[in-house]
Each structure stands twice: as C-alpha cells, then as structure tokens.
Structure 1
Amino acid sequence: MRELATIARHAGTVLAGQLAVMAFGVTDTIVAGRYSSEALAALSVASAVFVSVYVSLMGVLQALLPIWAEQHGRGDTTAIGASFRQSLYLALGFTLLGMLVLVFPDPILAWTEVPPAMQADVRAYLIIVGWALPSAMFFRLYTTLNQALGHPQLVTWLQVGALVLKVPLSIWFTFGGWGIEAQGAAGCAWATLLVDYAIAVIAVVLMRRQALYAPLQLWQRMEAPDWARLAAFLRLGVPAGLSILVEVTSFTLVALFVARQGALAAASHQIAANLAAVCYMVPLSLGIAISARVSWWRGTGNEAQAQRLAWLGLRIALVSGALLSGSLLLLRHHLPQVYTADPAVIALTATLLAWVALYHAADSLQCVCIFLMRCWRVTVAPLVVYCSLLWGGGLGGGYWLAYKNEATSAYWSMNPTPFWIGSASALALVAIIFIYLLYRVLRAHK
C-alpha cells in the first residue's frame, strides 16, 4: 500500500501538470473555434505537424528517465549532474533538427496535400512555434530530471502557472485588441512562444537556487561531449523517440489527410483528437510515475519489487482506461458543445467519440507497457510493432477505407470515421502484443 500511495502521488502530480499542458491545446482549439471554423481547421493541421515533431523529440529526452532514476536509486547523485550536462548536447542536436522541419514546412504541406487556401495560416503557425522549440526542449529535460528524482511538484506548479498566462494571451493575440491586430490561429502560436520561454527561464533560476538540486552538482564546467555516453543515450532514446514518432504521426497525420475533406471534417476531427489527447494524459502520467519507481527499485538491486510494481501499474492502467472510455461514451453528445456552437460539427464529433472511447481503452494499456519495457532497456521490439500496426494497419487501413475502397469511401464521404476505426483496431492489437512482450521481458529478468 505504501508503494501504491507513492505511485499515486507521483502520477497525480504529473497528471495535474500534463493536464495543464494539454489545456494549452484545449484553449487554442476553443479560441480558434470561436474565432472561425477556418481558423480551427488551420490549427488542426498546424498542431498536427507541431505535435508530431515536438512529441517525437520529447520522447528521446523522456527516455533518459530510467537512467537518472536508477542512478538516484543507487545514491549516485553527482553522476546525475554529469549525465544531465551531457544530455544538453543531445537536446541541442535534436532541437536544431526539429526547427528545420517546423520553420521550413512546405515539403510536408505539399506531401499531405493540404489545401492551398489553408497553407498560409498553417505555415505562419509552424514558423512561430518552431522558434519556441529550444525553450520547450530544455524544459522537457528539466521535467524528466524532476520525475526521475521523484519530485515533479515544481514542474507541475510551473505548468499550471503557464496555463494561467497562456489563456489570456491566446485570446488576446487571436482576436486582437489593445494595439494588436487579430491574428487567428497564429495568435495561439505567439502565446505558446512567450509562455515556453517564460517557464524555461524560471526553470533555470530554480535549478540554481533550490536545495533539491545541490547534491547533483549541476553547475559545473561544461564537459566536452562524452561520445560513449551520448551513444548510450541514443541507443535508448532514438528507438523510444521513433516509437513515439510512429505513435503520434499515426494519430496526427490523420488531421492532414482529413484536411482535404473540408472544414467540417477537419474541425470535428480536431475536437475528437483533442479529447483523445486529454485522456492520454492519464496513462502517460501513470507510465512516468510507475517507470520512475520501477527504475529506482532496479537501481537499489531489488528486481522482485520492481516487477511487482510493473504488474501493479498495468492493472491500474486497465481500470483507469475503462473508466475514461465509459465516460467518453456517456458524454459524447455533450463534450463537443464545449468547443463549438456549430450543430454540424457537434453531430459529427459525437459519432467520432464512440471510436475514440475504444481507442483510449487500448491506448491506456499500451502506453504503460511501453514505459515499463524501457525500464529494462527494451525499445526496438516496440518500435517494430508500432511501425507494422500503427502505420501499416491504423493509418494505412484508415486511408484505404476513406479514399481507396469504393464502398466505404462512398459511405463515409467527407467523414473522418474510417481513420478512427483503423486507429482503434490497430491500437487494440498493439496493446495485446505489448502485454505479451512485457511478460516475456519480466520472465527473462527473474
């Protein structure tokens, strides 16, 4: 019971912060939807590209959590500081890569056939958030460090405070006023940029002044790149980041493929996707909390306790996934009204949420499983499963149903439902395979 309470506190704190971050997207979706359906459609496409890039790069840095948590379990605090400094080189390299994609988005817009009328707004949004990426990546390192230490409270307070700043800024810049012209979807991007740099600066100040970080000796002279250590980071982080890239793009690329169906389909899909992403914060928070605790116990040398906690986390994911999926089904006709007053968008979104409920039930299990497998440094097998099922079965299957199969494409004309059917079915298979893989991994380490 003591471990359950520890995990619950950690997961609850992380969840509060993650929901605050997700509220960034919810805020932007509501603000853009109230501004115009065209702005909401442009935001749907632009945020799909940004999230694909950011979350993938974030996954590389998030994968360092087991390393730092194990060092924490061994009591090797100065090693954490040295490792954190080396991780800055990793963050710099991937930040430059991400900025290249976001600041020059034309190849992606052309490949996904985003309508020309939408491209100017999408491009403006992506360029702005591209320049926000350096601060966002540094803050992700700071977040991962705190989670590994078992002290996510400071991060959560910063994320909640950022939301308080984000909401009025998004409204102001989107609708204009007080000397600023209305900027539509781009206004949401400007608000994100200002908020991201504000919390990154505060994080630096905290790292210098808080007693929590003193034993880590973070503020030493920056060492030259340790190529052996960076290679170890990459062996863990790159497959993890690619796995998240596949998972996220199988989700976000749908927005780009749906864009050709028009503003109604794009706006409805954006609301459904936003609600799915909000629900995802629960298993994500649980995965972070349970993997930090499992890695801590592995660092102390107590493998049996680590494995007991792994199965406990999976049971919690099953229960929480079922509860949230049921809630989506019950409230599917009411939740869209929070985002828009358009009756057509509300009706279509309600239909999509029935499939979102199935999607989340599977998502909850597979998310916690993949975090747990990383505790035992298993990253390549999940990547192969993701590529085969999420891209091949989910995204590819949804595209085939929507555009290539004559019967289904005629039935679901101008409707994103086929993509949600493909994604939910594929994710259910992923969850089953991941549970089996986790079972094999734990048996091999008994």
Structure 2
Amino acid sequence: MSLAIFKQHNKPLLLLALPLLGAHLAQTGMSVADTIMAGRLSAVDLAAVAVGSSVFMPLLLLLFGTLMATTPLVAQANGAGNTSILSRTIQQAGWTSLLVILPIALILYSSRAIFDFMSVTPPVAALGAAYLKAIAWGLPAVAVFQVLRCMCEGLNHARPVLLISVAGLLLNIPLNYVLIYGELGFPKLGAVGCGYATAMSFWFMAALLGLYVHFEKHYRNFAIFNVFHGPSLKEIAAILWLGLPIGLSIFVEASLFTVITLFIGEMGRFTVAGHQVALNFTGLLFMVPLSLGLALTVKVGHAVGAKRLAEAREIAFYGIGLAFLVALVSSLFMWIAADWVVKLYSPNQQVQLLAASLIQLAVWYQISDAIQINAAGALRGYKDTRIIMLITLFSYWMIGLAGGWWLAMTDNFWGAQGVYGFWYGLIAGLSVAAAILMWRLNYTSRVHP
C-alpha cells in the first residue's frame, strides 16, 4: 500500500468511520448496560436478557440492514449531484420500514413459543419473553431513527448520529437502574425493566434526530419534509430489492448467534450467562470493523456514483487493510483483558471462568470477522448486495452453525464439545465468509461498469 493512497484515503475514511464507531458503541452500550446491570441482579435475569437479546438483535439488524439501502442510494445520488430525489427516497424508506416492523413485532410477542420449542429453561423463557414484549414498544422509534440515520450517513454527516446515540445511552443507564432495581418508587422489574428502559431510549433518540434534521440548515436544500410523498409500491419494491439482501445477510449472521444461544439454553443458566458475557464483550469490539465497513459503503458508493471506479477500488482495499490492522490490536486486547473484563459482568465465578475461556477462543476469528464485514461493506457500495446474502447464508449456517452443532452436540471424533463446539464453528464459518467475500470484491471492483 503506497504512501499516496494512505494520504488520499485515510483521513476521509476515518473522519466518517470514527463518528459511526462512536454511535455504534453508544447503541451497543445499551446492550452492555442491560447485560451488566441484569447480571448484577441474578444469573436468571442475565440469562433472560441473553435469550431475549438473541432473538431481538437479529430482528433489529434485519430492520437496520433493510433500511441500510438508503445509505448507498443517498451516497450515489449525492455523488452524482442528483439531490432532488432525496426527499422521495427518505419518505419511501419510512413507508418501507412499516412493512418490516410489523412481522418483527409479531415475532417478539410470540417469543415464548420459540423459547419453549428450543427447550429454554422455564424461568428464563418466561422472563425473556416478558423482556421482549417490553422492548417491542420501541420498534416504531427504531425505524424512524434508522431511516434518518442512513440519510445523515449517506451525506457524510455522521456526527449528529453519534451525539444523539450517546445521549440515548446516558438516558438508558439511569432508566435501567430505576426500573431493574425498583428505585424512586418504581416496582422492581429486573430483566423486564431493561426492555422498557431500552424502548424509552429509542423514542428519545428518534425524537432528537427528527428535530435535528427538521431544523438543521444543511438539510433545507433537500426539502425532505416540505412535500408529503405517499407510499409508492414501485419505489418501496426498489428499496426492498436492494435492502432486503443487506438485511437478510446481516440477519443470517446475527441469527447464527441467536440459534447458538437458544441451543445453549438447555445447558443451564450459568452456561447461557457465560456465553452471553463473551458474546456481549466481543460484540462491543466488533463495532470498530463494523463502523469501517459502513464507512466503506458510503465512500465506495460516492466514488461509484461519481464514476471514479479506480478510486472506488482503492478505497475498498485500503479500508480492508485498515480493518486487518484494527483486528490485530483487538485480538491482543482480548487476549490480555479477558479475565479482568468478565468480572465486570457477573460476580459468579462459574460464569466468569466460562466467559473468559470463550473470549480467548474469539481471539481466533477477529481477523476473519473484520475482513468479511468490510468486504461486504465495500460490495454494498457497488450495490452488489444479493450475492452477499448467499455467501453469508452458506458460510454462517452451513459451515458455522451446522459444523458447530456437530462439534458441540454429537459424539464426534473429539467427543461432544458443548458450548465450545459452537465457537469452533464460528471460527470456521467467519473464515470461509472472509475468503469468499474477498474474492467477490476483487471480481466486482474490476468488472463494474
């Protein structure tokens, strides 16, 4: 990688990626706060948040990913100087979000049946289902926030999203404290309090971002809210055609962790709790390469829209190289800090020991995970989204989940590995995904017209 390429692309990419990282860390921080604060109450509450989050997060990412089609649409329109269509695009994305949140809400309200089918222990299943019903009240706010967020990020204005996400986290923590532990005259709700606190934080963030977009001078030129656009089936279908493969590919990856957590649910509350602690901590560190991948979507999309195809390829591969270096640092930190970090989540020694050993395993897939998410992000900048869904479906489910289940639950060559077998499967699945997505990016970036 030449010094000229570094100077040309490093600063613009980081100026976009760092606010995105801050926003993701703040939003993920709500999940971390839920996990830590519920874990300090009891292992059952921690396990309930674990199984509840394992259902909610993939569905939330399905919504996020589908609406993420807004980002490359806005970025390419902005790169081509065609800003007149932004108002219609944003409002049609809003109508699209309604089609997505309705089935998500139905699944959340039917979650007890899912937990029972997966043989999750009854106390954890009951509490987890109640947690999901509470958090479902925030779904409309999540949809509004995500549409406006994608618009801001597509226009290279990620800082407001960062500040508002931090504000949401700062509200979520005291709300958690009041509702989980029953302070200030409120009833002691435990894990269910986490759900209500998160839903209220979602509404707070959506209101703030809506007010910002409405009053900020920069957005007045786009006339986003000046003219009402009713739902257009043609435009909604176009957004879904581009966005659903994004949402489904992200959902496939996230649901891999969901199904693993539900399989583990029958292994007991301490195993579930330890698995959740490890997953929560590694997921927090994953926000760094994820933010770089989202920045790549915007920067590559902008260059493609402006017909600067050689520059788009340079940006894509520079971003992946940067993600590789970040993953090396992340792996080293995880290796050193695992024993210390798990003590923040739970005072239970059994939970701590299991979580620390799983984090040590996660060190081995940090590089492949960073590469695959950034290759996918660059491909989305080219609007090459459907192939990502197929690649991730094969890698995560056929290699990661099926292989992990075989290692964990069957009397194989090494004997049933329990929870560790699923984590071995994760290493294999993410590595295969990284290899195939890199091949696809190399091909797409060379032949794109």
1:379 to 385, 389, 398: 385
Structure 1 partner of 2:148: 142
Q: Are the counterparts in 2 of residues 284 and 367 from structure 1 also a CA contact under 8 Å?
A: yes
Q: Are the counterparts in 2 of residues 402 and 408 from structure 1 also a CA contact under 8 Å?
A: no
1:290 aligns with 2:296: yes
Structure 2 partner of 1:311: 317
1:101 aligns with 2:107: yes
1:30 to 30, 36, 46: 36
Q: Are the counterparts in 1 of residues 112 and 126 from structure 2 also a CA contact under 8 Å?
A: no
CA distance in 2, matches of 1:86, 1:136: 16
Matched residue type, 2:438: I
Summarize the alignment of residues 246-257 of structure 1 with structure 2, pairs less than 5 Å apart: 246-257=252-263
Structure 2 partner of 1:86: 92
Deviations 1:13-45 (A, max 9, x none): 110111111111111111011000111011100
2:422 to 419, 422, 446: 419
Matched residue type, 2:408: A
Large movers: runs of 4+ above 6 Å: none
Q: Are the counterparts in 2 of residues 19 and 278 from structure 1 also a CA contact under 8 Å?
A: yes
1:433 aligns with 2:428: no
- Provide the secondary structure at the position in 2 that maps to 1:331: helix
Structure 2 partner of 1:221: 227
Summarize the alignment of residues 22-421 of structure 1 with structure 2, pairs less than 5 Å apart: 22-405=28-411, 408=414, 410=416, 412=417, 415-421=418-424
Matched residue type, 2:411: N
CA distance in 2, matches of 1:409, 1:351: 19
| Structure 2 length-normalised TM | 0.96
Q: CA deviation at 1:196?
A: 0.7
CA distance in 2, matches of 1:137, 1:325: 33
Deviations 1:186-232 (A, max 9, x none): 11111101111111112221121111211111113322322222222
- Provide the secondary structure at the position in 2 that maps to 1:5: helix
CA distance in 1, matches of 2:413, 2:194: 39
CA distance in 2, matches of 1:232, 1:214: 25
Q: CA deviation at 1:119?
A: 1.8
Instruction: Extract unaligned runs of 5+ from structure 1.
Output: none
Cα pair distance change 1:63/1:359, threshold 3 Å:
farther
Q: Are the counterparts in 1 of residues 406 and 412 from structure 2 also a CA contact under 8 Å?
A: no
Deviations 1:119-159 (A, max 9, x none): 21011111111121110111011111111000111111000
Q: CA deviation at 1:409?
A: 5.2
- Provide the secondary structure at the position in 1 that maps to 2:340: coil
| Structure 1 length-normalised TM | 0.96
CA distance in 2, matches of 1:409, 1:251: 22
CA distance in 2, matches of 1:396, 1:323: 30
CA distance in 2, matches of 1:366, 1:393: 15
CA distance in 1, matches of 2:58, 2:118: 14
CA distance in 1, matches of 2:391, 2:412: 29
CA distance in 2, matches of 1:69, 1:385: 25
- Provide the secondary structure at the position in 1 that maps to 2:339: coil
Q: Are the counterparts in 2 of residues 13 and 152 from structure 1 also a CA contact under 8 Å?
A: yes
Q: Are the counterparts in 2 of residues 279 and 360 from structure 1 also a CA contact under 8 Å?
A: no
- Provide the secondary structure at the position in 1 that maps to 2:338: coil
Q: CA deviation at 1:244?
A: 0.8
CA distance in 2, matches of 1:220, 1:91: 20
CA distance in 1, matches of 2:306, 2:384: 20
CA distance in 1, matches of 2:284, 2:51: 18
The CA RMSD measured in Å over matched residues stands at 1.4
Cα pair distance change 1:381/1:62, threshold 3 Å:
same
Q: CA deviation at 1:235?
A: 1.3
Instruction: Extract unaligned runs of 5+ from structure 2.
Output: 1-6
CA distance in 1, matches of 2:427, 2:412: 22
Matched residue type, 1:398: G
1:445 aligns with 2:448: yes
CA distance in 1, matches of 2:342, 2:190: 21
CA distance in 1, matches of 2:128, 2:41: 15
- Provide the secondary structure at the position in 2 that maps to 1:182: coil
CA distance in 1, matches of 2:361, 2:69: 30
Deviations 1:326-354 (A, max 9, x none): 21112222221121222211111111112
Q: CA deviation at 1:404?
A: 2.1
Q: Are the counterparts in 2 of residues 129 and 192 from structure 1 also a CA contact under 8 Å?
A: yes
Q: CA deviation at 1:435?
A: 0.6
Structure 1 partner of 2:4: none
CA distance in 1, matches of 2:23, 2:227: 31
Q: Are the counterparts in 1 of residues 94 and 143 from structure 2 also a CA contact under 8 Å?
A: no
- Provide the secondary structure at the position in 2 that maps to 1:405: coil
- Overall identity of the aligned pairs, in %: 29
Deviations 1:276-305 (A, max 9, x none): 211110111101112211111222221111
